Amino acid sequence: MEKQLNIGVLISGSGSNLQSILDACSAGKLKARVACVVSNRNDAYGLERARKAGIPALHLDHRAYSGREAYDEALVATLREFEVELVVLAGFMRIITGVLLEAFPMAVMNIHPALLPAFPGLHAQRQALEYGAKVAGCTVHFVDCGTDTGPIIMQSAVPVLEGDTDETLSARIQKEEHRIYPEAIRLYSEGLLAVDGRKVTIGA
Ligand code: GRF
């Protein structure tokens, strides 16, 4: 059988992006499989999605650890146990440390609901609305030690419409998230992403 990339997905909530990745895997669109899903919250619906797909779903409670680095050491141990090669952050509401990044160099991805470098951090959709932006969107990027600052892999733009609320804009953005995150993972899994400083090029 063809070699499949082992992905570990980290979540804290609904896991709709996780679902889009699971769906892409089961549709045979990715040379990858989700080896495990880890949540820092026990009530994350994404854990349920993983279980339904027959994938190990683990709760690793950050409150049980003395600090961010100790927590990340536990994450790394778990990800190693499942032979994870690419770590995918999908709504993981934790700041990660060098411990995770050094264990998976240029192999941690995140999706952010804004066109970075605009509106990093929390509540990006609300930030865009309050700023009066006419265009919003989402960004898949490699994670570095800053907040939403790593090299950009893919972006997709959506319009901000008159009368948009946080909910309507978020829903429009999420549709694009569910399209570009599996696509970025596909490119990675096929060895088509090259990183040179801040620039990521997509090979043929
Ligand atoms: C998404 O909006 C993503 O951009 C952000 O967190 C949210 C996760 O949503 N990082 P879900 O849990 O995948 O539904």
Q: Which domains does the chain have, with CATH numbers?
A: 1-105 (3.40.50.170), 110-204 (3.40.50.170)
Which of 11, 115, 158, 174 for a ligand 1 pocket mutation test, highest count of atoms within 8 Å of Cβ? Answer: 174
**147-172: b or e for each residue (b if 16 or more CB lie within 10 Å)?**
ebebbbbbbbebebeeebeeeebbeb
2 pLDDT band (50/70/90 cuts)?
A: confident
The average pLDDT across 120-131 equals: 98
Catalytic residue check, 112: yes
91 pLDDT band (50/70/90 cuts)?
A: very high
Which of 17, 49, 158 for a ligand 1 pocket mutation test, highest count of atoms within 8 Å of Cβ? Answer: 17
- Which residue in 59, 62, 112, 178 is the catalytic one? 112
Looking at residue 1, its pLDDT comes to 64
Strand 193-196 vs strand 32-39: parallel, antiparallel, or unpaired?
Answer: unpaired
Residue nearest to atom 8 of ligand 1 (CA): 91
| Spatial distance between the Cα atoms of 16 and 31, rounded to a whole number of angstroms | 20
Token readout for 98 is 């060098």
Looking at residue 3, its pLDDT comes to 85
The average pLDDT across 2-13 equals: 94
Quote the mean pLDDT of the chain.
Answer: 97
Looking at residue 148, its pLDDT comes to 96
Token readout for 147 is 């907040």
Residue nearest to atom 9 of ligand 1 (CA): 91
pTM (whole model) above 0.75: yes
181 pLDDT band (50/70/90 cuts)?
A: very high
| Spatial distance between the Cα atoms of 166 and 195, rounded to a whole number of angstroms | 33
Residue nearest to atom 5 of ligand 1 (CA): 91
* Ligand 1 atom, smallest distance to 20 CA: 13
Q: 13: closest CA among 34, 40, 33?
A: 40
| Spatial distance between the Cα atoms of 6 and 42, rounded to a whole number of angstroms | 23
Q: How far apart are the first and last CA of the chain?
A: 23
Residue 171: helix, strand or coil by DSSP?
helix
Residues with CB under 6 A from ligand 1: 11, 13-17, 46, 90-91, 111-113, 138, 174, 177
Following DSSP, what letter does each residue of 5-63 receive, concatenated?
A: EEEEEEESS--HHHHHHHHHHHTT-SSEEEEEEEESSTT-HHHHHHHHTT--EEE--GG
